Structure formats: C-alpha cells, structure tokens
Amino acid sequence: MTFARSGVTAPFDTGQASILELAEVCDVPARWQCRSGVCRTCQTPLLSGDVDYSPPPLDRPVPGTVLLCCARPRTAVVVDM
C-alpha cells in the first residue's frame, strides 16, 4: 500500500479495517467524517490497484477514486495522498 504524495509505503495488515485506518497508523493526513462509505469526504484519487469495500458504500465512488473509510486493498494499491 503506497500513499504517493506522502512518500509512505506500508504493508496492509489484514487486521486493519480500511485504508483509512492504515493512513492513520502511518500518520498520513486523511479527510473523513464517517467509516461506512456514506459521506464521501474521504474520496481520494486511486492511482493504481484494486480494492474491495466492507461495508459496501451506498453509491460507488467516481471512477478513478476510492473511499478510504471502507476500502481494503485487493492488489497493490497507490493512492494520491
């Protein structure tokens, strides 16, 4: 898992709930208001990779973006933050 703008790369632990949780552990600043994919505040450009959502968001994010609060990497992921 890579946070491109911050220059941070860290392994995603399967015990972590989301990419947002990993960002917090790595001290990568992230905007968010919820942790269920509802508010879309955490929508972030997805530079590469694939994610799964748990819980699934009410609406899918705009193509090329990811909802950090409920996304989990399925492959190696790079986000623009």
- pLDDT band per the 50, 70, 90 thresholds, residue 77: very high
Q: Are the C-beta atoms of residues 69 and 42 closer than 8 Å to each other?
A: yes
Torsion of CA 68, 45, 23, 11, to 10 degrees: 100
Q: Return the closest-CA partner of residue 73 out of 6, 25, 3, 5.
A: 3
The confidence score (pLDDT) of residue 2 equals: 98
Architecture of domain 2-79: Roll (3.10)
22-61: per-residue pLDDT in tens?
A: 999 999 999 898 888 788 899 999 999 999 999 999 888 9
Domain ranges of the chain: 2-79
Q: How confident is the model at residue 12 (pLDDT cuts 50, 70, 90)?
A: very high
For residues 12 and 28, the answer to whether their CB atoms sit within 8 Å is no
